[in-house]
Amino acid sequence: MGRLSTHVLDTVNGRPAPGVAITLDRLLTGGGRETVAQTVTNADGRTDAALLSGLLSPGTYELTFAIGAYFRGLGTNLPEPAFLDSVPIRFGIADPDGHYHVPLLASPWSYSTYRGS
């Protein structure tokens, strides 16, 4: 059974990032998109449940993380507009039975991701 999960790490403060709003969209042929899930990270910077589970649909997806709102909520002094506000990560799912873990490591000025396990 396939699964898609994520988590967010705050690299400025060296800890998980709770309270980050996340939207998962599936990109459709022809340029449209369909929102598949919306959630918020828990105290461990993870979601309480997998974003997708079961037999995954192959295709292109996009996770969008509201990282600017997270850092503003901590009282971080950000310029307007913030350098990073919404961080999109576009990725493909090819194996419907695969485990796809897409973490975000973020600061107000940079981010990185990778396919985790």
**pLDDT tens digits, residue range 26-58?**
999 999 999 999 999 999 999 999 999 998 999
pLDDT in the model for residue 100: 97
Higher pLDDT, 1 or 111: 111
**Whether 101 contacts 8, CB under 8 Å:** no
Known binding residues for substrate: 7, 46, 114
Q: Which of 68, 58, 65, 66 is nearest to 91 (CA)?
A: 58
pLDDT in the model for residue 106: 98
Question: Which domains are seen in the chain, by residue range?
Answer: 2-113 (2.60.40.180)
Q: Does pTM top 0.85 for this prediction?
A: yes
**pLDDT tens digits, residue range 57-115?**
999 999 999 999 999 999 999 999 999 999 999 999 999 999 999 999 999 999 999 99
pLDDT in the model for residue 117: 85
Distance of CA 38 to the CA centre of its chain: 10
CA–CA dist 104, 68 (Å, integer) = 13
Known binding residues: 7, 46, 114
Neighbours of 68 (CB within 10 A): 20
